[in-house]
Amino acid sequence: MKLPLLILLSLASLGAFTRGADDRPNIFFFFADDWGKYASLYADSDKPSLNDVLDTPAIDRIGREGVVFENAFVNVASCGPCRASLATGRYFWNCGSGAFLKGKEGDWPDQENAFRTLPKFVDLLRESGYYAQRSQKTFTFKPSKPTPEWAKFGKVPYQRYGLYVGGTQDPAERRKRHDEVVANSRLEMRRVLEGTPGEKPFFFVFGSINVHRPYIPDSGNDLWGIDPDSLEGLIPPFLPDEHDIRRDFSDYLGEVQALDLMLAAMIDELEKAGELDNTVIILSGDHGIPGVPRGKTNCYDLATRVPIIVRWPAGIPAGRRVEDFVSVTDLGPTLLDLAGVETDIFMDGQSFLPQLTSTASGWINPSRDFVVIGRERHVPTARPDYLPYPMRAIRSKDFLYIRNFKPDRWPQGNPGLAGEITDSAALYEMGKETRTAYQDLDGSLTKAWLLAHRESSEVSHSIAMTLELRPAEELYALSDDPYHLNNLATDETYREQLESFRTQVTTLMEETNDPRLTDAFDKAPWVTPEDANR
């Protein structure tokens, strides 16, 4: 039996539910690796975009029957640190070893490793009575003990759609592999539904890695019918609008449609079991598109804007678009609030339950008009001595402000090539490899094409704008410059805004005891000689 919303919210405000009557909703968190703000529900006839070519009916359904947060961001556009921030509800820089991708989690001789000791929000849900499980690439928490019903499913197979289905040209084999992906997605949800003890609600996070590189060449077109040339005029303007770059974006968008296929199968299983409307469904990703300049690992919108879409008919009025700024870091506090789990544990993230349960659209709380973003290190060997590229940023309604603390370091890793690339046949091969040049930019056809054509004036300009050294401060006025092309940091007209953002970042760092204040992230235990082996 489901509690009416008014009763549910009253209980939530009083604290944790009593275990004798645990009628709280299930929570299904669909959290996809490298999935930026891409779905057909984001298409806007007044603003042509890559979303115009997508067809994502399952994602669109969740948005249509729930709430879409238009201004959703990550705290850091790197998978490990983003997931550490998500798990703990803390800014990534206060997550100990979790602040770095593949951060050293061993002994920290001179200080405590915060990531080992910080409470994780799913553990709090589990301790309050939720049956907590996960599958594929997710984030840190201690799962509940598998029940016999859960264990009977064994390890459910997982295939990355494009690599698996696109790995054959035989139509019959391709259909067979397609059906396997769908069947295994169903098994994932059936295992949860059958394996959860009857008296408990479940928390289940499924972390697909479809959208993470590498891709099968031209899989976007071959598997999903996304013609690269249909993207002409939609490629971000800091990149050449060339056929090979459009091919790369087509493959990425194809993997987004693969996510939708898997989600549809899981939703169908929930519906067949009669649990769909008793389940809070959350869709999100850990950062934007990989392998594209200004995407993953940066503080620009292409890197940091992600979906946050939530459906729950019993508690979330449907069909709304909310403008309030939210972050993936806010998800833990929000779900604890929704589940009525009372805690005095400090989290930087702030619950947006009022935005979920409101009947309003647009701006609900005008004070939620910015998010905090940053970055330290991604690939350990991207720079000499395993040093990071530190940034802190504020993304507000009207501006993006970025502070680059070490402007003498290469933001995407040091340049350099292992050899010349002279023919298009070699592009995808190089595109699979991140170690050739600019190591913080994932290997991709886009990256390979840019480096192969770097002698042309158009491409050299694109590389200079996106991959080379950056000034200590960047400021962009978003109403006129949505792609962050015109840095206003030295424009006297914007001095007041610049100084205000600079003070805001400094104050935030001081209040949160950010290790970057003393350049601690450039030293042990974060940076050690052992990094050479990662």
Query: Is residue 353 included in any domain, yes or no?
Result: yes
pLDDT of 417: 62
Mean pLDDT lowest among 92-106, 133-147, 299-313 = 92-106
| Range with the largest mean pLDDT of 432-441, 445-454, 516-525 | 516-525
Give dist(CA 7, CA 333) in Å, integer: 20
Q: Enumerate the H helices of 205-325 as residue ranges.
A: 219-224, 243-272, 301-304
Residues 90 and 17 both lie in one domain: yes
pLDDT (mean) for 85-89: 98
Give dist(CA 444, CA 447) in Å, integer: 5
Q: Minimal CA–CA distance to 258: which of 27, 42, 26, 33?
A: 33
pLDDT of 421: 60
pLDDT tens figures, 372-395? 999 999 999 999 999 999 999 999
Query: Is residue 111 included in any domain, yes or no?
Result: no
3-state helix, strand, coil in the chain (%, to 5): 40, 15, 45
- Count of CB atoms within 10 A of residue 424's CB? 13
pLDDT of 7: 32
**DSSP secondary structure letters along 392-459:** EEEEESSEEEEEES-TTS-TT-----SS---SGGGHHHHHT-SSSSSTTS---HHHHHHHHTTTSHHH
pLDDT of 442: 92
pLDDT of 13: 37
Residues 488 and 361 both lie in one domain: no
Query: Is residue 278 included in any domain, yes or no?
Result: yes
The domain boundary, picked from 355, 373, 391, lies at 373
The domain boundary, picked from 317, 352, 373, lies at 373
Cα 63 to the center of its chain, rounded Å: 17
Contact 353, 5 (CB under 8 A): no
What is the percent of the chain with per-residue pLDDT over 90, rounded to a whole number? 85
Coil, helix or strand at residue 59: helix
Contact 93, 170 (CB under 8 A): no
Is the pLDDT at 352 greater than 80, yes or no? yes
Query: Is residue 110 included in any domain, yes or no?
Result: no
Q: Which domain holds residue 315?
A: 5-105+120-373
Is the pLDDT at 110 greater than 90, yes or no? no
pTM of the entire predicted model: 0.94
Residues 384 and 243 both lie in one domain: no
Query: Is residue 112 included in any domain, yes or no?
Result: no
Total number of domains in the chain? 2
Which residue spans within 40-198 are E strands per DSSP? Answer: 67-69, 72-73, 131-136
Query: Is residue 472 included in any domain, yes or no?
Result: yes
E strand or H helix at 461? helix 457-466
- Count of CB atoms within 10 A of residue 501's CB? 23
pLDDT tens figures, 167-212? 999 999 999 999 999 999 999 999 999 999 989 999 999 999 999 9
Residues 288 and 391 both lie in one domain: no
Give dist(CA 117, CA 275) in Å, integer: 35
Paired tokens of 117: 């000791």
Contact 121, 365 (CB under 8 A): no
First to last CA, the chain: 51
Give dist(CA 412, CA 446) in Å, integer: 14
pLDDT (mean) for 121-129: 98
Mean pLDDT (the chain, rounded): 92
The C-alpha angle with vertex 515 and arms to 509 and 521, in degrees rounded to 5, equals 135
Which residue spans within 472-530 are E strands per DSSP? Answer: 473-477
28 Cβ partners below 8 Å, 6+ apart? 189, 192, 202, 204, 206, 266, 270, 279, 280, 281, 282
Query: Is residue 113 included in any domain, yes or no?
Result: no
Paired tokens of 524: 């042990």
> For the domain that residue 29 is a member of, what is the CATH number?
3.40.720.10
Give dist(CA 10, CA 15) in Å, integer: 9
Residues 364 and 391 both lie in one domain: no
pLDDT tens figures, 229-266? 999 999 999 999 999 999 999 999 999 999 999 999 99
490 Cβ partners below 8 Å, 6+ apart? none
Burial category of 507 from C-beta neighbours within 10 Å (exposed 0-12, middle 13-18, buried 19 and up): exposed
Residues 350 and 202 both lie in one domain: yes
Is the pLDDT at 512 greater than 60, yes or no? yes
Higher pLDDT, 506 or 437: 506
Residues 350 and 430 both lie in one domain: no
pLDDT of 196: 97
Residues 433 and 500 both lie in one domain: yes
pLDDT of 17: 35
pLDDT of 454: 86
Query: Is residue 307 included in any domain, yes or no?
Result: yes
The domain boundary, picked from 339, 373, 407, lies at 373
Is the pLDDT at 1 greater than 50, yes or no? no
Residues 470 and 499 both lie in one domain: yes
Residues 365 and 393 both lie in one domain: no
Confidence tier at 435 by pLDDT (50, 70, 90): low
Residues 411 and 360 both lie in one domain: no
Give dist(CA 378, CA 445) in Å, integer: 20
Cis peptide before 525 (omega within 30 of 0): yes
Is the pLDDT at 60 greater than 70, yes or no? yes
Give dist(CA 326, CA 370) in Å, integer: 8
Residues 282 and 352 both lie in one domain: yes
Is the pLDDT at 315 greater than 50, yes or no? yes
